[in-house]
Chain A
């Protein structure tokens, strides 16, 4: 738990902790001292939790968290993270985890916590004689979107340099850093990725649609780098505040059906399952931790949200100011919706895997019978499609591709005019179509398997 070398500030808590321990000892030695200290608690406003240290801020305007001392505050946040990780089987000892690091405070904390967990696991591994439990692997990915925002190259270089410095300055073992240009979503052999991406985004008329498409492409880029480098978990720093905004904007875009898929701890509809261990932390808390621990963040070159997303985020900010628990309530409402079957890590049945590893896969929330399945996904945003979505699609003229698209993407990303739709299709990354085809084939063969015994001929065409 020592602070990282680059960011050591004056209040190094190791020594502070020791001091506290000494103080506590003294207190237990004399009953009178104990009483006086508890009197002090009620009077001088000590940390709410340990009742020993000074809180971060004595006045209550910082919320409950500010009434914790630094150690309890950090412990509380890390506790939420660790609980999310262990109770959803997010990281097993054999896993290889890629942390998506944007440079912002949320993913910075995610990186820090994964790093701390990793160091601890490494320590245990080194101390353990039989070395039965392997240590999970950690990598970091940064998506470089400078080609979209056409930022000057020296600024981009500076951002990437800062990111590199942050990752290098984490205590050893060193972590692999991948700088992923967003245009890498196109296959590498065509050198015109940048151009194609620009054209693609220009072809989307709706500002909100463009933003969302970029978001989908970012995920695609992360998936690609994770898959190519042998990772089997993608860890994002999405926090309560972020998810609350997503809940409202998904509702506004008519994506109520697929919404529960996006707000769970685990989202395994992707090739590399995505995990959100900071799902229960507020953006404010994470920013505060960065400040207190001197965790360096990077100023991002990104244009501010416009359109629907911008409107939603200012609405949620307004509500949060009016009531500090609003974001949590919003997320909890969405949490009560029924998740999908892919919102959990598949249990390992393989007997080759050590029992200790398998036992680590505790899970508390999802019961499989509660979540009914959905077979088709939107080929752009990968959201599960509702039955009514599919029905309305059947009424539309079928496209050349086998891909289906949710009504929201249909409206805000695809052009209205059919001829420009085909043009847009040529600009989209091939990977999207590959994924859609794969899903549909999977689904077809799964259905076939179920009815296999009743089929008389082998051919597909006799339907």
Chain B
């Protein structure tokens, strides 16, 4: 097919789109390296996401769906594409935007402005839950107290719960997040590097937390980050691209950089990593932590108190180290964050700042 396109291109003087063979090719599709025109790109991009939604039965008609919205590229494109597909294919969904306000001046306040514009542009109702309301602390206050070490631990634990609380307030059936294929491939690699077989077995599932109160799904599981950026760029979508001020400098982890290098020589490597992750032969009897509820706030927890309550207790009692570095999982975060603040590279990339994680 490519050869015939080449032949035509020579005659016409410019390459033609290898899908419609009519318009001039405007871009090289990152996933397949096909040269296609803009319209065909929109179509394949949207159609692929539609197929993922249909094949995996992510949504049922009449469901209320919250879209995690940070104002970043992934969640902005998610909101745009899902509202478009919902209209086009009559999913029959009630879509909502759900944002978390961590209380980071100069970062979240600006990105929330973007989300508020999106609310109007796409006509989707927006709900903002703030750390201040939920926990009585903003990230600014937390950082003032504990410094730039471990702050991402607090933010990450709090955000996870905040999203669930917000989703409960909106009375939605499901929460869709903007995790893309690159994110998932990176998580697969990181879990191999860490030896975390339990997480390795579930990190590729497109729907998680089905036993919990609000399941989460990732419609962008097979969508390349580069294509999301490209889509946002060509559609001139309004998004916010500054990084969190507390997770400093244009920092990228080893794993992320490795994936970008792989993509350069073999674009399909990202999909192959996800495929590997799905096909790993992991014994179903692998021990999973038993799930209970937090005695304090009623949130799902494997311990007596959930992590957020432990951290919060520490903050309120003026002992911010409480809950950090006691369990193994947090130990890891601890080390990682230390490294980050030192400006050295770690194996992991973005984890903070956006709602995507």
Which residues in A have some Cβ–Cβ distance to B below 8 Å?
A: 208, 247-248, 250-257, 259-260, 307-308, 311, 315, 318-319, 322, 326, 329-330, 332-334, 336-338, 370, 386, 388, 408, 411
- Tell me if B281 and A253 are in contact (CB < 8 A): no
Write out the residue numbers on chain B whose beta carbons fall within 8 Å of the beta carbon of A255: 276
Q: Is residue B233 within 8 Å, beta carbon to beta carbon, of the partner chain?
A: no
Q: Is residue B68 within 8 Å, beta carbon to beta carbon, of the partner chain?
A: no
Q: Is residue B192 within 8 Å, beta carbon to beta carbon, of the partner chain?
A: yes
Q: Which residue of A lies closest to B280 (CB)?
A: A256
Q: Is residue B238 within 8 Å, beta carbon to beta carbon, of the partner chain?
A: no
Chain B at the A interface: mostly helix, strand, loop or mixed? helix
Q: Is residue B189 within 8 Å, beta carbon to beta carbon, of the partner chain?
A: yes
Q: Which residue of A lies closest to B346 (CB)?
A: A322
Given contacts A252-B273, A254-B275, A330-B193, contact A311 B258 (CB under 8 A): yes
- Tell me if A333 and B266 are in contact (CB < 8 A): no
Within the complex, what minimum Cβ distance (angstroms) separates B7 from chain A?
Answer: 16
Write out the residue numbers on chain B whose beta carbons fall within 8 Å of the beta carbon of A330: 192-193, 195
- Tell me if A333 and B197 are in contact (CB < 8 A): yes
Write out the residue numbers on chain B whose beta carbons fall within 8 Å of the beta carbon of A319: 193, 254, 347
Write out the residue numbers on chain B whose beta carbons fall within 8 Å of the beta carbon of A388: 279
Q: Which residue of B lies closest to A336 (CB)?
A: B197
Complex Cα–Cα for A257 and B282 (A): 10
Q: What's the count of A-B pairs with C-beta under 8 Å?
A: 91
Write out the residue numbers on chain A whose beta carbons fall within 8 Å of the beta carbon of B280: 256-257, 259, 337
- Tell me if B282 and A329 are in contact (CB < 8 A): no
Write out the residue numbers on chain A whose beta carbons fall within 8 Å of the beta carbon of B286: 336
Q: Which residue of A lies closest to B264 (CB)?
A: A311
Complex Cα–Cα for A348 and B149 (A): 59
- Tell me if B278 and A315 are in contact (CB < 8 A): no
Which residues in B have some Cβ–Cβ distance to A below 8 Å?
A: 188-189, 191-197, 200, 254, 258, 261-262, 265-266, 268-269, 271-273, 275-283, 286, 345, 347
Within the complex, what minimum Cβ distance (angstroms) separates B288 from chain A?
Answer: 14
Complex Cα–Cα for A354 and B279 (A): 42
Within the complex, what minimum Cβ distance (angstroms) separates A327 from chain B?
Answer: 10
Q: Which residue of B lies closest to A256 (CB)?
A: B276
Complex Cα–Cα for A338 and B261 (A): 30
Complex Cα–Cα for A247 and B192 (A): 9
- Tell me if A256 and B254 are in contact (CB < 8 A): no
Complex Cα–Cα for A388 and B278 (A): 11
Within the complex, what minimum Cβ distance (angstroms) separates A456 from chain B?
Answer: 38
- Tell me if B282 and A337 are in contact (CB < 8 A): yes
- Tell me if A254 and B273 are in contact (CB < 8 A): yes
- Tell me if B347 and A254 are in contact (CB < 8 A): no
Given contacts A259-B276, A311-B265, A319-B254, contact A251 B188 (CB under 8 A): yes
Complex Cα–Cα for A207 and B238 (A): 41
Within the complex, what minimum Cβ distance (angstroms) separates B129 from chain A?
Answer: 36
